[in-house]
Amino acid sequence: MTSSKIISALKISDGIKINLKNFDTGLGFTDELKEFKKSELKDRAKEILERNIEELASMQELLYASDNYGLLIILQAMDAAGKDGIIKHVMKGINPQGCQVYSFKQPSAEELDHTFLWRCMKTLPERGRIGIFNRSYYEDVLVVKVHPEILSKEQLPQKSYDESFWKRRYEDINAFERHLVRNGTIVLKFFLHVSKKEQKQRFLQRLEDPNKLWKFSAADITERAFWDDYMKAYEEAISNTSTKWAPWYVIPADFKWASRTLVSDIIVSTIKSLDLSYPVPSKEKLKALEDERQKLLNGQ
């Protein structure tokens, strides 16, 4: 199912202004897929996902052993787009010691007294680990842009929030991510692009399934009324912050099995591109290890 050609179709080029209406939320985002039946794609996607899960487990160990890079994965989406499912299904084979997940919700009073990047800075993955942000500092150019009244809680020195204000926030994000990449943290950003129709179906499924009622919030319906405003905010955020060093991928999310496979493939191909290898012990270290092995063989 996946290929470099398909992945390229999902990657947003640096400096490109996007319109999300031009991005398919289903399986029609590339001509390469149109010749296949949905059932064929689903079976193929399942095979690729399982292979990627196995590869990712060994790659995380290599990432940890080489200790040169960390990987930050950012998941942004409208409610019910499948962020939790991506984390659960794509990362399930990884050693828990090598992966950390943070969900960012409404900021606390302490967080509001710092810059909008602060609460995410302190949870960045260290070298050798994979960090996942379930929502992130991008909320401050998404939900905050849709609801600018939130800015009054941040006690900012400026009181005018025109386009120049948002432009500066995009610049801050780009500079922050460039700093991360220059210092060994690879940044992958995924926007799970679900349709309004599919979101409605998923909300209804939650309301009709007793085991999923806990996932539903009345706030989800409230925010749904701002759909067009959110799409515009996402378009502007992605257009202004998809860079060569920290690209955005717009992932079609109406079919969960497809979005999970696509995300897993991008993660695996990105780590592979680092050309990592296990550290090679020095001659002195090898001699010391051989001495220890001989001690064990001799009964010590």
DSSP lists the bridge partners of residue 131 as 72, 100
The set of residues, in sequence order, having a beta carbon less than 8 Å from that of 258 and lying 6+ positions away, is 1, 27, 41, 42, 45, 252
Q: What is the pTM of this model?
A: 0.92
CA-wise closest residue to 192 among 255, 133, 251:
251
- In this structure, how many other beta carbons lie within 10 angstroms of the beta carbon of residue 172? 17
DSSP state at residue 91: S
Give the whole-angstrom CA distance, residue 229 versus residue 142.
Answer: 9
With residue 100 as reference, give the H or E element that holds it: strand 99-103
Positive or negative torsion for Cα 193, 199, 205, 211: positive
Tens-binned pLDDT, residue by residue, of the chain (300 aa): 456 788 888 999 998 999 999 999 988 766 666 666 777 888 989 999 999 999 999 999 999 999 999 999 999 999 999 999 999 999 998 988 889 999 998 899 999 999 999 999 999 999 999 999 999 999 999 999 999 999 988 888 887 889 999 999 999 999 999 999 999 999 999 999 999 999 999 999 999 988 888 888 888 889 999 999 999 999 999 999 999 999 999 999 999 999 999 999 999 999 999 999 998 888 898 999 888 998 899 876
